[in-house]
Amino acid sequence: MTQLANDRFEIPQELQSGMRSMAESGFRQAREAFEKWLSTAEAAAGSMEERSETMRAGARDIGAKAFGYAEANVQASLDHVEQLVHAKDVSEVMRLHSAYVQAQMRALSEQASEIGQAVSRAAIDATRVRH
């Protein structure tokens, strides 16, 4: 391979540092948002468990959903890192990162909505049992 060909695929160190910093920041923000969401869901599940067996079933459903979402989100992160490792240039890294962030934000929104619906169903079920 000629020196010119090598130069075309080499990413300057400053750009690598900037990209790495941006990726770490985005990942850190996504992780913090997910952890906060998971903590809230777990707290909701914990308080619901005190109501009744009906609520315990709802809490188990919510817990199962939360752990399923956690697994899916970790897998998405690992897939993203693997794609970044194989990126050919900076524009591909940027495209991959943008697509990943957008997909994760959609996924977190859908997950929060589904957990909210599960919490509502469990609360309605508990209300029916109490009356």
Give tens-digit pLDDT for 28-82: 787 788 788 878 877 766 655 555 577 677 778 888 888 899 899 989 999 998 8
Q: What pLDDT score does 7 carry?
A: 54
Q: What pLDDT score does 98 carry?
A: 93
**CA distances for 13 relative to 18, 19, 57, angstroms:** 9, 10, 53
CB 114 within 8 A of CB 41: no
pLDDT: is 12 or 121 the higher one? 121
SS3 52: coil
Per the document, the length of the chain is 131
Amino acid at 55: M
pLDDT: is 14 or 91 the higher one? 91
**Percent of the chain whose pLDDT exceeds 90:** 22
Q: Looking at residues 87-108, what average pLDDT do you find?
A: 92
Cα–Cα distance for residue pair 69/66, rounded to 1 Å:
5
Q: Looking at residues 13-39, what average pLDDT do you find?
A: 77
Tokens read off for 68: 């399923």
**CA distances for 63 relative to 70, 77, 111, 116, angstroms:** 10, 21, 12, 12
**Sequence-separated (6 or more) residues with CB below 8 Å from residue 103:** 76
Q: What pLDDT score does 104 carry?
A: 93
Tokens read off for 1: 């391979």
Tell me 70's DSSP state.
Answer: H
pTM for the whole thing? 0.55
Amino acid at 60: R
Q: What pLDDT score does 15 carry?
A: 67
